[in-house]
């Protein structure tokens, strides 16, 4: 592939690394546009809206690119809401998900006029009613149902089982619609679900869609108008050679079949599927360390830069960038410099022989990479660049040490405890 040969989107990666330093997140603008276009085409004929899951990658340049392509946003915090608005995404095209929305976040979302709240508990519904009433507003809302479907994905990113914290049972949702007069400032006219992330099979999606469609038909028969059905996201991507992931056409067909006859708005919330394969983490080899039984390839990237392998035991393809001809393959444990055994990207991974100073690329890093990064071990956040037609733009500057510690301050005054 082009990355292994040393270029991506017409940009020489060695020159890019020399200019911008490593570790470095690198994103392809054409790849993101291509994914949005494919999904839009697949959904043609439906009254559909794409609501990008900002948590996957909230970089402002990527959000602006998606806004230009007509995507809205699925957000789970006030900060993500501000990011989406700042990028030019219309408030009306934003849905607010999440189990723990604070009153401050709800107030802000109401004031800017977001399109819809995805409500996940009775307590949230009551809070939404109270805040909307106090401000003379009507909050548009969908109930997030938990269809109790096994998404067949990693346990930490499964969200549609009864034991998960997300959504409410269909039985509870039914009672909300029956009693919706109790919340006059909440227009409860939508359904929402999201069963998990990195779904490589559409079987659980079809099962969950069938349950939600049956509930929609039941509600309609009872006289409850449903204006919007949000089918969530979670569509998986290929992280390793040989892995198969559903395509947009298959996904859209599953939605069409389940929601046949529905004439309202259909919302989809892709995140990973739009950006994961459009990004990589470029890193330089610090050293090769022979161990008693293993050979360690130590990179300048670490778990604080890309957490997924440590957190989820996630696989990412790793390639040596350029000049592999004539180099024999060797097995490496690919690790970072952070003081944790968990700072491991791969074990026993076959790569062309590597030396200090070589470049490697960790592929499929466009989603849940930079957005989950931290400054653990006092390592400043890395830079991010966007590529297009043989050129690049820095879309996040490399954090300096001074910027990293800017909000810290010495003790200049002790504040006494308040009397009780």
In three-state secondary structure terms, 331 is strand
Phi, psi torsion values for 169, nearest 5 degrees: -70, 160
Identify the residue whose tokens are 């549609």. Answer: 160
Q: How far apart are CA 73 and CA 84, in angstroms?
A: 7
Q: Give Rg (Cα) of the chain.
A: 23
H/E element holding 31? helix 29-42
The residue from 339, 354, 409, 418 that is catalytic is 339
Evaluated on CA atoms 177, 117, 273, 379, the torsion sign reads: negative
Reported as half-sphere exposure (CB side, CA atoms, 13 A), residue 267 has a value of: 31
The residues near 155 (Cβ < 8 Å, ≥ 6 apart) are none
Task: Give dist(CA 214, CA 209) in Å, integer.
Answer: 8
Residue-wise burial string across 378-391, b where 16 or more C-beta atoms lie within 10 A, e elsewhere:
ebebbbbbbbbeee
- Residue 409 annotated in active site: no
Structure tokens at 331: 């097995």
Strands (E), 305-382: 318-320, 329-335, 344-352, 359-363
Torsion angle, CA of 149/144/177/185, rounded to 10 degrees? 180
Where helices occur in 247-325 by DSSP H, the ranges are 248-258, 272-275, 308-312
Count of other CB atoms within 10 angstroms of residue 64: 15
Give whole-number Cα distances, 313 to 74, 115, 156, in Å: 26, 36, 11
Residue partners of 141: CB distance under 8 A and separation at least 6: 116, 117, 118, 119, 125, 128, 186, 187, 188, 189, 190
Which residues form the catalytic set?
Answer: 339
């Amino acid at each position: 592939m082009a990355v292994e040969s040393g270029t991506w989107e017409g940009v020489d990666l060695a020159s890019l690394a020399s200019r911008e330093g490593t570790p470095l997140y690198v994103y392809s603008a054409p790849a993101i546009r291509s994914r949005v276009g494919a999904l839009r085409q697949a959904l043609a004929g439906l009254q559909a809206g794409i609501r990008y899951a900002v948590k996957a990658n909230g970089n402002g340049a990527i959000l602006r690119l998606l806004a230009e392509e007509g995507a809205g946003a699925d957000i789970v915090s006030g900060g993500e809401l501000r990011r989406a608005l700042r990028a030019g995404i219309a408030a009306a095209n934003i849905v607010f998900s999440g189990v723990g929305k604070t009153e401050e976040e709800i107030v802000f979302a109401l004031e800017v006029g977001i399109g819809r709240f995805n409500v996940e508990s009775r307590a949230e519904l009551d809070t939404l009613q109270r805040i909307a009433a106090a401000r003379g507003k009507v909050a548009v809302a969908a109930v997030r149902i938990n269809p109790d479907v096994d998404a067949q994905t990693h346990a930490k990113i499964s969200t549609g089982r009864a034991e998960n914290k997300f959504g409410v049972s269909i039985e509870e949702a039914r009672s909300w619609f029956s009693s919706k007069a109790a919340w006059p400032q909440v227009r409860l006219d939508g359904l929402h679900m999201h069963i998990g992330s990195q779904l490589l099979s559409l079987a659980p999606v079809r099962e969950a869609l069938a349950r939600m469609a049956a509930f929609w038909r039941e509600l309609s028969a009872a006289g409850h108008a449903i204006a919007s059905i949000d089918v969530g996201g979670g569509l998986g991507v290929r992280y390793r050679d040989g892995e198969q992931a559903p395509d947009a056409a298959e996904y859209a067909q599953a939605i069409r079949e389940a929601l046949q006859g529905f004439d309202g708005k259909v919302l989809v919330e892709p995140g990973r599927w739009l950006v994961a394969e459009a990004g990589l983490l470029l890193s330089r080899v610090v050293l090769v360390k022979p161990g008693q039984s293993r050979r360690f390839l130590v990179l300048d990237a670490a778990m604080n830069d890309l957490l997924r392998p440590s957190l989820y035991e996630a696989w990412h393809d790793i390639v040596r960038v350029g000049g592999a001809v004539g180099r024999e393959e060797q097995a490496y444990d690919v690790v970072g410099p952070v003081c944790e055994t968990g700072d491991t990207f791969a074990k026993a991974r076959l790569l062309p022989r590597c030396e200090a100073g070589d470049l490697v690329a960790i592929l499929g890093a466009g989603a849940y990479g930079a957005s989950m990064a931290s400054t653990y071990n006092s390592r400043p956040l890395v830079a991010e660049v966007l590529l297009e037609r043989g050129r690049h733009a820095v879309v996040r500057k490399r954090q300096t040490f001074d910027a990293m510690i800017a909000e810290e301050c010495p003790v200049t005054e002790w504040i006494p405890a308040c009397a009780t």
